[in-house]
Structure 1
Amino acid sequence: MENKTRSAFRQVSEISTKEERYNPFAWYSKMRKEEPVRWDEDRQSWDVFRYEDAKLVLENKELFSSNRGANIEEKDQSPLAVSLINLDPPKHTQMRFLVNKAFTPRAMKEWEPRIQKIVELLLDDISETQEADAVSALTNPLPVMVIAEILGVPIEDQKKFKEWSDWIVAGPKDNSEEEIQRLQKNQERSHRELVDYFENIINIKNQQPGDDIISVLLNASINDEKLTKNEIIGFSILLLVAGNETTTNLISNALYCFTEYPEQYRKVKENPEKFLASAIEEVLRFRSPVQAMNRIAKENTWIGSREIQEGENIVAWIGSANRDDDQFENAQEFDVARKPNPHMAFGKGIHFCLGAPLARMEAEIALKEWIKRFPDFERSENFTLEPIESSFVYGLKEFKLRII
């Protein structure tokens, strides 16, 4: 089973150093020009790099499936295999209808003051310092605390949440057999521990329901059919991991972009009401928190001049699509006033990120408060580039800043 199992853990060989992991954009540009649709024998996967091709793969549910457990009997499927991100219609449509109730504009409005309070408390802890790691001080704890409250799980477990979600999205440091086995072992352990954790939470919520989303899902039904325990566990893991990693990296990537392009940050700092929201959209495009999403061909089809066979894996490189000069004018420039900005950072089609409004709101509240308190900052002399080791999640392990 090496091809199917191990290939999922292999990193793209062209992206190997720390600098290349955080700045793969020269490679993306090369691939868009020279090999926009290519087969990677080592990973047993197709890669697409252009905006229109990535959009096709992500949007066309008739041709491309998200169901990675399609050939596994339902009783043998893991909770993550039956989570929203891995479902096709009609099950995806039904489940999304239920969980969407937690992410309505009204629900988001109710969360706004709580998120503001969490941000203020986190920033209070660094207000007297001249140097801080923005990741450990703000961008890591904020989304974990918010997601914990939405799920109705103890906030004191946030360190475990972070460790589990980091392993779930982790990628190998290299393609050695030893490294891939180490990664697979830790991911399997984290998955088992997450399943056990949420199974216990569900048992508690069955006896003592609250106003959290797990309690809501336990009582929800579609056509008199309730969600299975596996489905609720799968959604809970997905929400924890996706809500944590995406928002963490959006905010830290934004701070990185502000130090990278001080003239653009000046616009935001001087007029946040005008530029902050569009600056967040530009960060989502320019340094997308998720760089790639994969699908499986449901039938033989063509992308560009390449024929894709039924059952083959396709990776849509969002990070490349969002830098495509055929779609975005001056695509390699960071422009906080960019409009329109039809980036694909949150995906496309039926799997467009359910938590996108929450991620945007957390980023806007956090960055607005940061700018208000610490309008002038720069990279610390102790800063070293430490990107996350992952094949699709994109951000920094730490980001040391000096408050001026």
Structure 2
Amino acid sequence: MTDPNQNTRAPQDAYYVYAAMRAVCPVQSAPSDSGRSSYVVTGYAAAREALGDARLSKDTAAFFADKESSRRLHPAVAHNMLASDPPRHSRLRKLVTRAFTKGAVAELRPFIAEVTDMLLDQWPAGERVDFVAGLAVPLPVIVICELLGVPEADRPDVRRWSGELFASGNPGLIDAASHSLADYLGGLIADKRRRPGDSLLDRLISARDGDDHLSEEELLSLAILLLVAGHETTTNFLGNGLLALLQHPAELDRLREKPEAVPAMLDELLRFDSPVSTATFRFATEPVTLAGTEIPAGAPVLISLGAANRDPDRFPAPDELDSDRDASAHLGFGHGIHRCVGAPLAKAEAEIALREALRRFPRLRLAVPAAQLEWRRTRLVRGLTELPVLT
């Protein structure tokens, strides 16, 4: 079966494949690298149901416990909060939710705006700029590193290791990156114990050493997850979102004329080209029936958020970007107890970044044909390697 996420050329090719799969059946089996059949969910109703079904476990440690593997992914990466079920998941999520409430994010908005202005100040007028390298990558990296207390000098390494974690088809690179990131954050945690501060990571350390009974591995895994998830999704959200607008001039002109309309457009941008194409790993703990398809116990289940968000049964004319559409039910951030805890921060960063880029560079346009754009080689996230624009 064709893997739509391996596409590196035309940005719509993946959605053609999704549509063809969904037309056959919204849930179907597909061979995996291990020889075991996985089940791919492409329909919206089935995806939403699957995301909230407790019989589909995310406990990867339990799934792989009796399976031999040549992989050497660091345990703190393999067994993070996203790879766990309640009650462990509930306990860990509670510790970080406070940092990403709407109120907490509102306090961060001045800093996000300051960083955005600083980055846009470096863009030369009337010249070619890579939107990914010039804004989509550094903005969320700076924000999440600031939130966690990662020193500025270390941020380029952190960003590189994080990107390598998503290097599909290169397990050796992924495994090495997981150890580099875990080793670095382990050292940072040790430094913060010696010299405490007031960052989110410092607060998690206090929880580890206080009454919340975080294990050392849980502390490290939370730090890694927050660091990686705190910018990867937003980077792709920004790049995919701007590309969608540049390819839909009427919608772009509307936002240029009414920048206050940007917040209302964010859900439609997330629906149109989801920054996370496939939800993280799940498997059936007992036989499950989804959309009439029988999924046996033990089978992996891959939920395609990108495909679900283009399901015409839920979103009419799904391949059109429509600012008048109510896209608030999109699955770009997931659904249920595992819905992205950092969604408010990602939306705040996207709102400020897109609004200010369009305001300061009203003639912003693609520097190359869209068909020449390169997409990251990864099954989990969907994003551009670069987005050349003319200012």
TM-score after normalising by structure 1: 0.89
Query: How far did residue 71 of structure 1 move?
Result: 5.2
Unpaired runs of 5+ in structure 2?
Answer: 66-72
2:266 alignment counterpart = 280
| CA distance 1:401–1:77, shift in 2 (3 Å) | closer
- Structure 1 equivalent of residue 146 of structure 2: 149
The 5 Å alignment of 1:2-401 reads 12-13=2-3, 16-19=6-9, 23-43=13-33, 44=36, 45-61=38-54, 63-70=55-62, 78-172=75-169, 183-220=170-207, 224-273=211-260, 275-293=261-279, 294-381=281-368, 384-401=372-389
Q: 1:376 to 1:283 in 2, by over 3 A?
A: same
Task: State the AA in 1 paired with 2:57.
Answer: S
Give the Cα separation in 2 of the matches to 1:342 and 1:68: 28
Aligned-partner SS, 2:340:
coil
Contact 2:50 2:56 in 1 (8 A): yes
**1:3 matched residue in structure 2:** none
What is the deviation of 1:303? Answer: 1.4
Q: Distance in 2 between matches of 1:321 and 1:389?
A: 21
User: Which residue type is aligned with residue 334 of structure 2?
Assistant: G
Equivalent AA in structure 2 for residue 290 of structure 1: V
User: Secondary structure in 2 aligned to 1:18?
Assistant: coil
Does the residue aligned with 2:28 lie in a helix, a strand or coil? Answer: strand
SS in 2 for 1:136: helix
Q: What is the CA distance between 1:162 and its match in structure 2?
A: 1.7
1:277 Cα offset (Å): 1.2
- Measured in 1, the distance between the counterparts of 2:185 and 2:4 equals 38
What CA distance in whole angstroms lies between the structure 1 residues aligned with 2:369 and 2:15?
25
Deviation by residue 1:180-213 (Cα, 9 ceiling, x = unmatched)? xxx1111111011111101101111111111111
1:119 touches 1:365 (CA, 8 Å); kept in 2? yes
d(CA) in 1 for partners of 2:223, 2:208: 17
Deviation at 1:331, TM superposition (A): 1.5
Give the drift of 1:278.
2.1
Compute the displacement of 1:284 (Å). Answer: 0.3
Q: Which runs of 5+ in 1 are unaligned?
A: 1-10, 173-182
Q: Report the TM-score, using the length of structure 2 for normalisation.
A: 0.92
Q: Distance in 1 between matches of 2:5 and 2:356?
A: 35
Indicate the larger mover: 80-89 or 284-293.
80-89
- Matched residues in 2 for 1:150 and 1:377: separation? 31
Contact in 2 for aligned 1:132/1:402 (Cα 8 Å): yes
CA displacement at 1:231 relative to structure 2? 0.9
Superposed CA deviations along residues 87-123 of structure 1, whole A, max 9, x for unmatched, are: 1100111111111121122221221111111000000
Contact 2:130 2:386 in 1 (8 A): yes
CA distance in 2, matches of 1:355, 1:276: 19
1:97 and 1:14 mapped to 2: Cα distance? 35
What fraction of aligned residue pairs are identical, expressed as a percent? 34
Instruction: Determine helix, strand or coil for the equivalent of 1:47.
Output: strand
SS at the partner of 1:89?
Answer: coil
Q: CA deviation at 1:218?
A: 1.2
Q: Deviations over 1:13-37 (max 9, x none)?
A: 4554423666311111111111322
Secondary structure at 1:40 match in 2: strand
